[in-house]
Amino acid sequence: MNLGNWFDLTFSHRAEQEALEWAGSVYTFGEIDARSNRMARALAARGLTKGDRLCVYLANSIEMIDLYLACVKTGVIFVPINILYRDREMSHIISDAEPKLLVTAAEIPALLEEAARQSGEKLPEVAIDGEDTAALVYTSGTTGVSKGARLRHNSFAVNGASLL
């Protein structure tokens, strides 16, 4: 089982239920699922596949959720970059993570336009194992340069189950 399987269960069993309120809009689980599927197809159109790294330099937003879920569903490794980081920290993370794509606020309109052109609700099957890396999260680097911590699908799933 991987993290995408856990989300699929929630999305399919609670599709009509309200899941999230953001910036005055309410989204159901089904809408979040469809948005993230379109975003996954948009990333694929940009050439991202399982194991590629996607750096995301965004403030909290619905698009951040879309991107995270798109990565979970496709096996793309999500690499968040703290928006408080400046050039030195960003350069280090980008150099170390070697992303195939960096998404910033400036990139979002084009990515959303690409996502809007994508159709269909289901994604092609991608073999994702629980031991596959879901995210690469960089430490604060208080004693030196920040280091990327690999967080696996199983780690997120176990943490979610513990919270329940």
Task: With cut-offs at 50, 70 and 90, classify the pLDDT of residue 164.
Answer: confident
Alpha carbon distance 150, 146 (integer Å): 13
Q: For 152-157, what is the mean pLDDT?
A: 91
Residue 146, classified by CB atoms within 10 Å of its CB into exposed (0-12), middle (13-18) or buried (19+), is middle
**What percent of the chain lies above the pLDDT cut of 90?**
73
Q: Which two tokens stand for residue 22?
A: 């953001």
Alpha carbon distance 136, 139 (integer Å): 10
Alpha carbon distance 119, 126 (integer Å): 18
Task: With cut-offs at 50, 70 and 90, classify the pLDDT of residue 44.
Answer: very high
Residue 164, classified by CB atoms within 10 Å of its CB into exposed (0-12), middle (13-18) or buried (19+), is exposed
Q: Looking at the domain covering 3-163, what would its CATH class be?
A: alpha beta
Q: Compute CA distances 47 → 76, 101, 103, 159, whole Å.
A: 11, 9, 14, 31
Q: Which two tokens stand for residue 100?
A: 């195939």
Asked whether residue 56 carries a pLDDT value surpassing 80, the answer given is yes
Token pair 């998404």 is found at 103
Question: Where exactly are the structural domains of the chain?
Answer: 3-163
Task: With cut-offs at 50, 70 and 90, classify the pLDDT of residue 121.
Answer: low
